Structure 1
Amino acid sequence: MLRGRTALITGSAKGLGKRAALELAAEGCDIIINYLHSEVEAQELQQQLTGMNVRAIAIRADISTADGVEELAARAEEWSPSGIDILINNAGPFIRERRLFVDYSAEEITRLVNGNLLGVMLLDHRLLPGMRARRWGRIIHFGFGHAAEARAWPHRAVYAAAKTGLVSFTKTLAVEEAPYGITVNMIGPGDIRGDHKEMSIEQAASLIDPESPVGRPGAGEDVGRVIVFLCHPRSDFITGNLVSVTGGFDPIRNNIMTKKESCPPEA
């Protein structure tokens, strides 16, 4: 379905980004892996992908900086002279410690906003001209479940603000780029934890999650299947949407009510 297309996936050495890479590669898509610290995992994934009869490369770059965005885009385009057809903005810094906004440092605020919003915008801006020239493109941003509702998320003020800002940007960019054959959507993963981020649905189906309305935990394949669908050539009428993949679970409301919290899916 996607043979001949090239996808760049930020933060894809492990977790949901890795599972997205595997799902797209299964459809014949060539993959550009991006990582910052997980070099060993990135190299292992590159070998796994090439064993699936697709081209793959791993590129280290920090997308929370303008220089890192430019380096990633330039190296990606050098490796794929025909251009980048699919951009999956999965990476995003997150502070696991529960903390009131007043207790963040200025540096932490800047890093979280740059990594979750500004870096995404800059990478989109850098790669959009090529997609426009080819009159085809798929851009997918990562948020969190129910991000479009922009509710309060205590102790996650900066991260939530950046991601909900990304919701508005997603919808605006979708309208602006639709005439050029480019779709822009957001995935809102639910409470998918730890090793579950790389699991298949079959693996997750054998587990029990009493907090989940569907009775099982979410899996990386749950998110990966939506990504593949949105990248399908015939999905051109689906743009400007936030697709929540939560199994009916509401992580923010649940955390407020029970004081429980886990990491966001893309952390």
Structure 2
Amino acid sequence: MTHSNGSGPVALVTGGARGIGRTLCERLARDGARVVVNYRSDADAARSLVAQLEAGGATAVGIQADVSDPEQAAGLARAAEEHFGAGVSILVNNVGEFSLSPVAATSAERWNDVINSNLNSAFYMTRAVLPSMRAQRHGRIVMIGLSASLLVRGAPHIAAYSVAKTGIAVLTRSLAVEEAPYGITVNCVAPGLIDNGHLHPRQAAWMSRRVPAGRLGTGDDIAEAVAFLVASRADYISGATLAVAGAWDWEDRPTDHDADVIEVFEEKPANA
């Protein structure tokens, strides 16, 4: 995906201003894409990233939208196409809130926020970019999921998040089949426990003890997988879920002794 400045594919990363999303934008820009940095509220972070990318010779724009709202998601896709004069051909559905709490302690508002930010946003954004991708007869859609067998069996304290990410896995497979005739691939990168740059120290310690590889994953680990899936060498890969997790699974489940950590996760979501 190497192109001269201003001629590369248009890549849109939801929640691209901070954390893993920022790293994804940096990698896609380095590979030659024209990057749309989507953000919901942190305009300063988006401006900083766009300036950084442009200073490095890339082409980028920051566009505000809450992609958990279907009208704003559609408006984001239109704004990206109007800005670059070309439709989005790479979409990374990255944004999604994390929540760690028992079902009985989860409010309806919090439940809906987690489902909307993770699952509904991916549906809204994908639906918004599909017409231009179909017209191009080419496209790359990458979902950010969750690497854990709990997607089938469930686990305590993360019901909302695991339900949302299970939906991402199903949506990935369904879309892959539907869009294959149009030259569009749809895959899922499934992170394990990732240091996204704004973890509370107790979060990081609690998480890293549970990874067989002995360390938390990084944004660069995720970006490598995304870069592979959007490249031409992955033309025949669609409907796949690629675990980037250091062999981690949620088999070491939270216990009552983790109550203080659960409070920390709720105070400062790990994937905001």
Q: TM-score per shorter chain, which class?
A: 0.7 to 0.9
**Residue-by-residue CA offset, 1:168-187 (whole Å, 9 max, x unaligned):** 11001001111111100011
> What is the CA-CA distance between 1:16 and the residue it aligns to?
0.8
Match of 1:64 in 2: 68
Match of 1:100 among 97, 102, 119: 102
Aligned to 1:166: 168
Which digits, 9 at most, give the CA deviation of each residue in 1:186-216, with x for residues without a partner? 111111124289xxxxxxxxxxx66433333
In structure 2, which of residues 102, 111, 114 is the aligned counterpart of residue 112 of structure 1? 114
Equivalents in 1 of 2:127, 2:178: separation in Å?
A: 12
Q: What CA distance in whole angstroms lies between the structure 2 residues aligned with 1:61 and 1:55? A: 20
The number of residue pairs the alignment matches comes to 253
Question: What secondary structure does 1:85 align onto?
Answer: strand
2:86, 2:108 → 1: CA distance?
Answer: 41
Instruction: Answer yes or no: is the 8 Å Cα contact 2:20–2:196 preserved in 1.
Output: no
Determine if contact 1:2/1:232 at 8 Å carries over to the other structure. Answer: no
Q: 2:93 aligns with which of 89, 92, 111?
A: 89
| Residue number in structure 2 paired with 1:138 | 140
Stretches of structure 1 that go unaligned for 5 or more consecutive residues are: 198-208
Q: TM-score, normalised by structure 2?
A: 0.86
Report the Cα distance in structure 2 between the residues aligned to 1:265 and 1:49, rounded to whole angstroms. Answer: 25
Matched residue, 2:205: none
Return the alpha-carbon distance in structure 2 between the equivalents of residues 210 and 146 of structure 1: 16
Q: Tell me which residue corresponds to 1:242.
A: 241
Percent identity, aligned pairs only, is 38
Superposition deviation, residue 112 in structure 1: 1.8
Unaligned segments of structure 2, at least 5 residues:
200-207
Cα gap change, 1:86 to 1:185, in 2 (>3 Å): same
Tell me which amino acid in the other structure corresponds to 2:241. Answer: L
The 2-side partners of 1:215 and 1:116 are apart by 27
1:182 aligns with 2:184: yes
TM value normalised by structure 1: 0.87
Q: Is the 8 A contact 2:97 2:270 kept in 1?
A: no
Pair 1:26-2:17 in alignment: no
Query: Structure 1: how far apart are the matches of 2:111 and 2:15?
Result: 20
Q: For residues 210 and 105 of structure 2, what CA distance do their matches in structure 1 show?
A: 31
Comparing 254-263 with 231-240, greater Cα deviation is found at: 254-263
Residues 186, 239 of structure 2: 8 Å contact kept: yes
Aligned partners of 2:192 and 2:245 also within 8 Å: yes
The 1:138–1:15 alpha-carbon spacing in structure 2 relative to 1, beyond 3 Å, is: same
Aligned position for 1:41: 45
**SS at the partner of 2:166?**
helix
Whole-Å separation in 2 of the counterparts to 1:239 and 1:109: 30
What is the rounded CA distance, in whole Å, between the counterparts of 1:195 and 1:23 in structure 2? 16
CA distance in structure 2 between the aligned counterparts of 1:183 and 1:25, rounded to whole angstroms: 20
Deviation at 1:134, TM superposition (A): 0.5
